[in-house]
Amino acid sequence: MMTSPMELVSIQYALALLIGQDLEMQSMLRKFLPPALKLLNCRSGHIWLLPCKAPLEAEQPPCYSYPSLKTSLRERFPGLAEHLAHPTATRSAIPSPGEIVNADGNFYHFLPIGSSGLLVLVRDSALAPAHLQALTPVLHRLETACQACLQHTYVEVARAAAERAHKEATQARETAETASKAKSDFLAMISHEIRTPMNGIIGLTDWMLHGELNGTQREHLGMIKSSSHALMEIINEILDFSRIEAGTLTLNRAPFPLRDLFHDIFTPLVVWARKKSLHFHWNIAPDIPEALEGDAGRLRQIMLNLVGNALKFTEIGEVAVSVSLQAPTSAGECTLLFRVSDTGIGISPDKQSLIFEAFKQADSSISRRYGGTGLGLPISAHLIKLMGGALRVESELGQGSTFYFSAPFSLPQRLAPPKDTASQPLPKPQRLLNVLLAEDNAINRLIVQRPLAQAGHTVLVAENGQQAVEVWQAQRPHLILMDIQMPVMDGLEASTLIRARERSEGLPAIPIVALTANSTHADREKCRAAGMEHFISKPMNIRDLLVLLEEIGQTLPL
Amino acid sequence: MPSPKPFAQILCDPTGTTESLFGLIDTALAAGAKSLFLLACDANGFTPEAVDTKLRSVGVPVFGGIFPQIVSGSRTLLRGTIVCGLPVPATVETIERLSDPAQDYLIQTRRLSGRLPKGSSLVTLVDGLSTRISALLESLYEALGSDHPYVGGGAGSLSFVQKPCLFSNSGLLVDCAQITALELPIQVGIEHGWQRFAGPFFVTGAEHNTIHTLDYRPAFEVYREVVEAASGRRFDDTNFFQLAQGYPFGVARLNRTMVVRDPLLREGDSLVCVGEVPPNQMVYILKGDADYLLEASVTCAQTATRSSGRGVLALLFDCISRTLFLMDRFPEELENIGGHLPTGAPLLGALSLGEIADAHRPCLEFFNKTIVLGILSQPERPTV
């Protein structure tokens, strides 16, 4: 039966609208081919796509068949397979356009999909030339849709690869971060373990130096004390570095007098400079406010590091420190420029970037000759960054170095009067107290116990938090000196328990002083949350402890 | 020479009671049936509560459906039941959720591929009121291809209320397809006899089995203009289906062939058909002529009887709307078919909501207003 042009155009129209309903190749072809076969009265259809216009290979299976091929093409349609394998069929990318082959009781219609594929329609009878002509533009559209699907696949594959790479990178970073944190935790733990006996050594040495000694003994003890402090500095640097890596290093903010602070920092260094016959001086510009607000402890650490390095690496000449206003004082804030210059060995330009990297010094011979962990400058640089500035260096080999940085400081409303404890004699207690000392380390107990006893206080001892709670319950001391890390029950838990019992029994709050080697802001917050309102940092200064006891004693009811 | 023993045991009950159904099942089983093909009338009012327990207790495969009417020989039954005990086993598979737009039936039909005996004939029954019958058949054919011959139709009720209508060993099923493999060859004839009358029209809006617009106008508006002018009757004072049954749609295929779609009901300005109507295709409105329709039944029977084997059972799926159109001439259709059947091949079947077959057709189709006749045969035994 003849098909009218109108019907043919309508079929062409319907076929065209079946194309490109999906961007996924199989799905697109599946939405096209089965209804197209029905429209064209075909029993089956097979599509080959030929990337890069490669010729169709003899046994190449179709990329889509309707209905599905459950066996090989050769087994199911031997005539078709034979024709595809025939040299005349494969000499070009596809068999002759519009070729119709009668085999296997079927009429196979070979229709090019543009220049990049082949559609074979299987019918009981041959299509008329007009039908084949009507299919040509439709199959050009199919080619475009197939290319869009291929493009989409490439994009999807690339996107999946990018996603996979991103995921792997994230995993690698997380793994590295976990490893880094584990390392930092390990360093912190080791540092703490070393600090505890070091506190004992320093404390006992300090205590013995207060006793009666001959000249040699005093000299030897002085050397022990000096060596111990040097070792503590190294340990503190490792601890700081581990905190930086773990991202837990934070700054404390409190008002402080800059000039007094510099005086305290540099006075001992003057002695060192004098021993090396160096001229060491510092200058603070007169327009700098007397009081600033910031982390005085960390500024001390930075200046000690920079000036200490300058003195270490300078044999002849001078070390000079200057502080000037970099930006005019604005409402409640000023930015200071700190410079530390020396006439020392200097650093070559190619090594200048290395010195801010952890564990690296400009030259390996430096560490052999001058010692040091190589952590001081990276730590200082990080602290300055936390303060809002950046540490920089200008230097030439053999011509000395200048380290400089700027940092903003707040201007406090008022400054508390300074405590000049160093020049005062050990305070005589106005009131003798019953002090409960909770400390698991026997040497540390001794360091605290002896001076307090000598001052006339009574010291009760507990070796862990649980014992401390029991002694507090039984003997009601005036105050508690509470170590934080203890076996059985730590200081935080013991303090929390004591505060809870005080509340439930309606007792007044006993002052609890935290004895802590960890003095970060977060550590202090934990102590406060547990009910400890005072802090003494380890290694402990006896004078500071006695002064604190005196202050607390004055607040206690008679 | 004595007549050969009947291949199948066909038991017919005109009362349509559950007791009779159960009795016929027991009789067939007692006679040694290896599978049961059940046909029942919608008027019987069978419900899952009434029949499921019995169906679950049957120890051989059960398949079949509930139809508006059923056929036994030259008789049509408006009420009643036919139990056909087959001396061969059957493999019965079910595909559920036949109206779910989210279902990809290819996944399920591919699983069937390994479970059905190679080359077996597939009696394919569907819930005729499900909306994705064509999608299922498209997937079924994609997975199984022409390795199997197919014959079947749509079960259900002329009330057009979807309810459980397929018999199975699990009970009565709704919104499902049932594919039953019988290891017997089958020869199938498909004809309809409807003639082009008006059109063509472009289906400019359609979704599953609902036509929304024709030539960018509301589908019902276009349809009404044509049908009311031709029939001299009005949809306002006539039941929609009574008038529409004489004017189905024909979905155009190449070489002026057509697949018929029966307008079932009107939803606003849209027309709901039995079976899916693809969008962007050309359709005609067809008109029935009793002589042409009856001629088609002869052609259909002639095609179905071209089997080389010995015909043992004739399965008929004849559209219910042909009965409604031919009315008192419908027995002629059954006579035309019966007159061509080989001796010893009794006729049984259903007046269905849509018909299924693939023989001499491109791919597997869901037809309307069509006769599908399958003759199951046994290969001739070679003479010694």
pLDDT digit string, tens, across residues A12-67? 888 988 998 899 999 999 999 998 998 888 989 999 987 665 666 667 889 999 99
Give which of B148, B255, B284 to mutate to test A binding, by max A Cβ within 10 Å: B255
Give which of B106, B137, B254, B284 to mutate to test A binding, by max A Cβ within 10 Å: B254
Task: Tell if the CB–CB gap between B142 and A2 is shorter than 8 Å.
Answer: no
Domain-embedded: residue A322: yes
Task: Tell if the CB–CB gap between B254 and A3 is shorter than 8 Å.
Answer: yes
Give which of A29, A65, A68 to mutate to test B binding, by max B Cβ within 10 Å: A68
Return the pLDDT at A366.
Answer: 57
Q: Are residues A464 and A497 both part of a single domain?
A: yes
Q: Are residues A454 and A537 both part of a single domain?
A: yes
Q: Are residues A442 and A544 both part of a single domain?
A: yes
- Tokens matching residue A7: 């019907």
B99, B207 in Cβ contact below 8 A?
no
Query: CA of A126: which chain B residue's CA is closest?
Result: B255
Chain B CB contacts of A9 under 8 Å are: none
Give which of B281, B284, B303 to mutate to test A binding, by max A Cβ within 10 Å: B281
Of B113, B257, B362, the CB nearest to A70: B113
Q: Examine the pLDDT at B107 and tell me if it is beyond 80.
A: yes
Burial class from Cβ neighbours inside 10 Å (0-12, 13-18, 19+) for residue A275 reads: exposed
The tens digit of pLDDT for each residue in B11-38 reads: 999 999 999 999 999 999 999 999 999 9
Which positions of chain A have pLDDT values less than 70?
A: 1-3, 51-58, 86-97, 184, 187-188, 191-192, 246, 328-330, 358-373, 414-427, 517-522, 539
Half-sphere exposure of A92 (CA within 13 A, CB side): 9
Q: Are residues A73 and A145 both part of a single domain?
A: yes
Return the pLDDT at A203.
Answer: 77
Report which of residues B155 and A455 the model is more confident about.
Answer: B155
Chain B CB contacts of A131 under 8 Å are: 254
Chain B CB contacts of A29 under 8 Å are: none
Task: Tell if the CB–CB gap between B254 and A41 is shorter than 8 Å.
Answer: yes
Task: Tell if the CB–CB gap between A67 and B143 is shorter than 8 Å.
Answer: yes
Task: Tell if the CB–CB gap between B281 and A40 is shorter than 8 Å.
Answer: no
Return the pLDDT at A423.
Answer: 42
Task: Check CB contact of A11 with chain B, cutoff 8 Å.
Answer: yes
Task: Tell if the CB–CB gap between A66 and B142 is shorter than 8 Å.
Answer: yes
Rounded Cα distance, B278 and B202, in Å: 10
Rounded Cα distance, B140 and B137, in Å: 5
Chain A CB contacts of B109 under 8 Å are: none
Of A1, A2, A43, the CB nearest to B363: A43
What average pLDDT does the segment B299-312 reach? 86
Return the pLDDT at A517.
Answer: 66
Distance from CA of A103 to the nearest CA of B (A): 17
Give which of B111, B195, B363, B366 to mutate to test A binding, by max A Cβ within 10 Å: B363
Task: Tell if the CB–CB gap between A1 and B257 is shorter than 8 Å.
Answer: yes
Domain-embedded: residue A288: yes
A352, A215 in Cβ contact below 8 A?
no
Domain-embedded: residue A38: yes
How many beta carbons lie within 10 A of that of residue B204, not counting itself? 15
Long-range contacts, A327-334 (Cβ 8 Å, 24+): A329/A287, A329/A289, A329/A411, A332/A410, A332/A411, A333/A408, A333/A409, A333/A410, A333/A411, A334/A288, A334/A289, A334/A292, A334/A408, A334/A409, A334/A411
Return the pLDDT at A421.
Answer: 46
Return the pLDDT at B2.
Answer: 53
B122, B148 in Cβ contact below 8 A?
yes
Return the pLDDT at B383.
Answer: 41
Chain A CB contacts of B254 under 8 Å are: 3, 7, 11, 39-41, 127, 131
Domain-embedded: residue A170: no
Task: Check CB contact of B281 with chain A, cutoff 8 Å.
Answer: yes
Domain boundary among A220, A246, A272: A246
The tens digit of pLDDT for each residue in B239-275 reads: 898 899 889 999 988 877 788 998 988 999 999 988 8
Domain-embedded: residue A62: yes
Task: Check CB contact of A185 with chain B, cutoff 8 Å.
Answer: no
Task: Tell if the CB–CB gap between B252 and A37 is shorter than 8 Å.
Answer: no
What is the ipTM, given to two decimal places?
0.83
**Which residue type sits at A6?**
M
The parent domain of residue A91 ranges over 5-158
How many beta carbons lie within 10 A of that of residue B45, not counting itself? 13
Q: Are residues A231 and A267 both part of a single domain?
A: no
Rounded Cα distance, A146 and A144, in Å: 5
Task: Check CB contact of B196 with chain A, cutoff 8 Å.
Answer: no
Check which CATH number belongs to the domain holding A13 and give it.
3.30.450.40
Chain B CB contacts of A44 under 8 Å are: 145-146
Return the pLDDT at A29.
Answer: 93
Task: Tell if the CB–CB gap between B362 and A2 is shorter than 8 Å.
Answer: no
Of B252, B254, B363, the CB nearest to A34: B363
Distance from CA of B171 to the nearest CA of A (A): 32
Domain boundary among A227, A246, A265: A246
Task: Tell if the CB–CB gap between A67 and B146 is shorter than 8 Å.
Answer: yes
Q: Are residues A148 and A72 both part of a single domain?
A: yes
What average pLDDT does the segment B274-300 reach? 91
Nearest of B382, B380, B377, B379 to residue B311 by alpha carbon: B377
Domain count, chain A: 4
Chain B CB contacts of A123 under 8 Å are: 362
Domain-embedded: residue A462: yes
- Which residues in chain B (97-156) have CB-CB distances under 8 A to chain A? 110, 113, 138, 141-147
Q: Are residues A22 and A147 both part of a single domain?
A: yes
What average pLDDT does the segment B147-155 reach? 93
Q: What's chain B's average pLDDT?
A: 91
**Which residue type sits at A133?**
Q
Check which CATH number belongs to the domain holding A291 and give it.
3.30.565.10
Nearest of B173, B111, B282, B367 to residue A13 by alpha carbon: B282
Query: Using alpha carbons only, what angle is made at residue B319 by residues B314 and B323, rounded to the nearest 5 degrees?
Result: 100
Domain-embedded: residue A359: yes
Q: Are residues A226 and A264 both part of a single domain?
A: no
Q: Which residues contact B223 (CB under 8 A, 6 or more apart)?
A: B214, B244, B247, B263, B271, B285
Task: Tell if the CB–CB gap between A14 and B278 is shorter than 8 Å.
Answer: yes
Distance from CA of A117 to the nearest CA of B (A): 21
Chain B CB contacts of A39 under 8 Å are: 253-254, 281
Q: Are residues A131 and A268 both part of a single domain?
A: no
Domain-embedded: residue A388: yes
Q: Are residues A406 and A459 both part of a single domain?
A: no
Q: Are residues A70 and A35 both part of a single domain?
A: yes
Q: Are residues A439 and A383 both part of a single domain?
A: no
